[in-house]
Structure 1
């Protein structure tokens, strides 16, 4: 897919994966909406990229907010790409704690709303907009890339909400690709392993020393640009559709 004259939206675009993806898409010729709630970081990134990117404050749990971000992308050019890579809180607690108290269902539901329902909201609304595009010579109108996690396959202790949400994103992928095939919109999912991002709140050297040895090969945490490189390859390769790609250095989470 040629991105010349095209626009893209990246939810979570001010974060680690998101920023790297925004930069890759801009370098490939797209104009990009940085859709995030992190206003300061988002605006700094947009300023750095000049006319090729704008920041739009976006809440993926709100229909109106996502609609506004998509309209902003359409104002920049034909919307061809949506990358759903936003983060959010996950409590990291066992279903029943040592005192016999159950993990609150409301907290579980909030995580699902952000990571799974929010993903569906961006996917469905972006695809609806793309379906109105003139098809390219390949017959394609656009591509949506969602982000799961290897925790969606083998969640660790305390990840019931996060693992359920990311497992749902994985389960959504093939059905969405089949649903959207008639309108020429591809859907792909990336499932990262242990990647270093600012969300760890640690210096990279410290984080690598703590978590890098758990990755078989290469024996380090992933870099955000490695995610972004894969995302761009998905955009450019029209025959990638309906698949979840693990990018994890052969890591498998154990108990």
Structure 2
């Protein structure tokens, strides 16, 4: 690396964090397809270039345990405090995208060769997946709950028992399916956007208080509202509405 491109101490700290995140993930994939968050990771071997990098960064302070090895640790500029409850649930999507593009540029496979290119491909995919997860409130909430052992995204049992909510959802479904023109759904669209905003606000408060039960309930509700939004955005006359619970 040329002297003009030498990273700052903060930059070195980030890349050391990212290096530990990626290599620990690679090691865990060899041991188990579904590693436990709390499982102790056994040492694994790396290439000579990786060992040199780790040696150069040996004096860098490791990330805090609350922020280590999560999607949040990949974006230290945008999410310096890490995941809730230490950091907020809300995310500045403009800042997140800016940092994402900077990282994707730095780890673009075409800028590397040999073994480093293969690692860059893996790192780029990791960054891309983390960005897609964190930029959307629903997938972000589902991811945070998965870190606590709750699979809200794929668990068919994760459904609301709020009968009023279910009644509202079915009524909205009928309105969407019965609309003759898309303009007839303008008010429904506005009300649904408000419901999404309210769920996000409640999720922000629940994660801040570390109230996981409330976060679970709101994540399920947000899934309903998000599904309705998708149905509204893809509306076609006579098209049936399939609401994924």
Give TM-score, length-normalised by structure 1: 0.29
By percentage of residues, which structure has more helix?
Answer: 2
By percentage of residues, which structure has more strand?
Answer: 1
**Bigger Rg, which one:** 2
Higher relative contact order (CA 8 A, sep 6+): 1
